Structures are given as structure tokens and as C-alpha cells.
Amino acid sequence: MTRTSPTYRPSDLPADVARHDRVHPPGDDRRWRESYYFSFFDARHGIGGFSSIGRRVASGHSGSVNVLWGPDRHSLVASEWDSFDKLEDHVHVAGMTYSSDEPFGDWRLQFGGKLNDGGDGVECDHAALGPVAKSAADSVEVSYDLTFSPTHPPYVYREDPRWSELFTGHVDEVGLVTGTITIDGTTIEIDGRGGKDHSWGVRNWFAPDDWRWIDLVSDGGPEIAMWRADLGGWIGDGAVFTDPAAGPERAIVGYTETVTTVPRPDVPGKAIPTGLTAEITTGAGTHHLEGTVVRVLPVLFDRRVDGTLQRSWNDRSLLSTTVDGHPGWANVEFAGRVENP
């Protein structure tokens, strides 16, 4: 059973907050990009997923990633590319559409098409990571019609120029996700928890030496949305969502972690994450997180610097978690740069 909140209404948000759920005037930097992200996990069916759509105004190019996975399921994934003429609040890329009628209200997520089959191993088959048309992996017919309904006020990251190579603004939410998913003719009724974020600004994935991003949801316990990055020194922001009426005390002010890994064959500079233990402190207290990695999906970006291949290697991982003893599920990014992978 998922929890609901009668105390939060998006219409009560002040205008200077509500505007951040809509598109923003683009900056002058050609790397400026605006993106939306959604995730969910339905513990009854053991299925979760995440997707994102981003758009670069300077090039008119848009891209998406679309993933369905679970501890006992094949990882289904595709990254696709498209183009657009102008920024609009409703976004569409390669069969996937996000739409909303009210700022920070319900968002509808729709998809119809194929996803690559990345197998049922812990690490997704790398052949499945690209567009369906170019993948050597088998593909599966998938469609879904999901609704994200926020249950807590959005958390807007504090302004800080140290984030300038990753974003100008960033907003996190948690809520209910309901609807249907059909995979290869089998339909699943979804009733779970999910996360949403919205970012805009320069997105330079090679700027951080390392980063940790956590999107954790739970049917009955604390939920977490946070990002930390080593940009010549660690910087972090985010929130722990408990009481919907919680104010500034939900902001994360302290974080320590231990990550366990195993070697990745042929890539000595990027071990495979296997677990995460963390202490997360807010103005209201400290929360203890334990997580076990059940799936890993690498997100890879390459560039050459003075003839050396550099790869931004982000092990996007699904974790079975507890926070203060409450079970949940998390999408966690274990990211860093690798040379000559």
C-alpha cells in the first residue's frame, strides 16, 4: 500500500517556486540543457524504472534514456535522439512523452515502442545501452501510461556558483506513481512510489572527479533525493522527505558513506559497486541508510584530451535499501572519470 498526503496542494506554492516546474530561458553557453527525470518502484511486482528527457537549445537536439528493471527481471533500456524547434513545457522524444497541466502537479508519462534487452545479470549488457535501431541486443515491445503525483512540496536546491558546470537550478520531488506497463503483451498495474527532478543550466559530466546521486523511495519510511559532487572539493545538496509539512529542516547538512565494490574485468579504473552504507544528517536528525546493489547500468560519455580517451563512467544502480529500518528502493549513481578504459 502506498501512502498519500492530504496536506500538500501544488496550487498553494508561491509563484517564484511554481515557475521552476516549467522551462527556463536558455543561457548563452552552448552546453546549456534543460532536463526532466522520473523514477518509480512498485514493491508488489518487483519492478521499477527511470527515464529522462533533455534538450540542448543551441543545437536543437534532444535525447532520452528509458529503463525498466527489477531484482528478478531483465533490464530493458534504450537511449534515443531526436530534434525540436522550441522549448515547450510538454516534451517528446522517440515515442516517450511527458505532460503536465499544473506546475508541480501531476505529470503523465507515456511511451510506446521497443527497448533493448540488457539481460538478467547484475550489470546490464553494454550492447543494450544505445538506440534500439543500432543495438545488437534483442528488443522487446513496451508501452506504459503512468502518472506521477507529488505528495510533498518540491525541494529547490540552494543557489551556489560551485554547481555552475553541472546546473544552474535543480528541483527534487517524491510522490505516487500509478498506471500500467505492458511488456511483450503482459500488462502490470503499477502502484508505487517515485521521484522526479528537473535541472537546467550547463551540464558538463566531465567536471566532477566523482559524484554520488541518490533517489530513494519507500512505501512507509523516509525518502531521499540528493546529489554530491567532487568539483575540486565536495559539494552537496538535497533533502530527506518525511512529514509533508516539513520545512527547511529537511535539507541535508551532513553526509558520510562507505561504498563496497568488486573489480570490473578489463576496466581497472572503475570497480563495480556492490553496496552503500551512509549517515545522512538534516536539521531534524540523522538517518542511517543500508543498500545492496542488485542491478548496474553504465551511462558512458567519451571525449579526447591531448590524445587521451576520457570516459565519464556513471554506474547507475538499483539498490534494495533500508533507511532507519524501513525497506525501500533506490537509484544511485556511482560516477567518476576513467582514462583509456
Question: Residue 196 has which C-alpha cell?
Answer: 522526479
pLDDT band at 5 (very low <50, low <70, confident <90, very high): low
Question: Residue 51 has which C-alpha cell?
Answer: 527515464
What DSSP designation does 245 have? Answer: T
Q: Closest by alpha carbon to 294, among 91, 75, 15, 143?
A: 75
pLDDT band at 2 (very low <50, low <70, confident <90, very high): low
What pLDDT score was predicted for residue 8?
83
Does this model's pTM top 0.85? yes
Overall residue count recorded for the chain in this entry: 341
For residues 224 and 45, give the distance between their C-alpha atoms in angstroms, rounded to a whole number.
22
Q: Burial-class residue 341 by CB neighbours within 10 Å (0-12, 13-18, 19+).
A: middle
What pLDDT score was predicted for residue 85?
81
For residue 1, is pLDDT > 50?
Answer: no
What pLDDT score was predicted for residue 102?
96
Task: Dump pLDDT digits (tens) for 227-274.
Answer: 999 999 999 999 999 987 778 889 999 999 999 999 999 898 899 999
For residues 221 and 305, give the distance between their C-alpha atoms in angstroms, rounded to a whole number.
45
The identity of residue 196, as a single letter, is K
Q: How confident is the model over 198-216, as a mean pLDDT?
A: 96
For residues 124 and 25, give the distance between their C-alpha atoms in angstroms, rounded to a whole number.
37
Q: How confident is the model over 6-26, as a mean pLDDT?
A: 91
Ordered structural domains, the chain, with CATH: 10-339 (2.40.370.10)
Average confidence score pLDDT of the chain = 94
Please report where in the chains the cell 545522512 appears, as a residue: 280
Beta bridge partners of 261: 273
The identity of residue 299, as a single letter, is V
Buried b (16+ CB within 10 A) or exposed e, 282-302: beeeebebebebbbbbbbbee
Q: Closest by alpha carbon to 113, among 146, 78, 62?
A: 78
What pLDDT score was predicted for residue 4?
57
Q: How confident is the model over 73-102, as a mean pLDDT?
A: 91
Contact 11, 17 (CB under 8 A): no
For residue 48, is pLDDT > 70?
Answer: yes
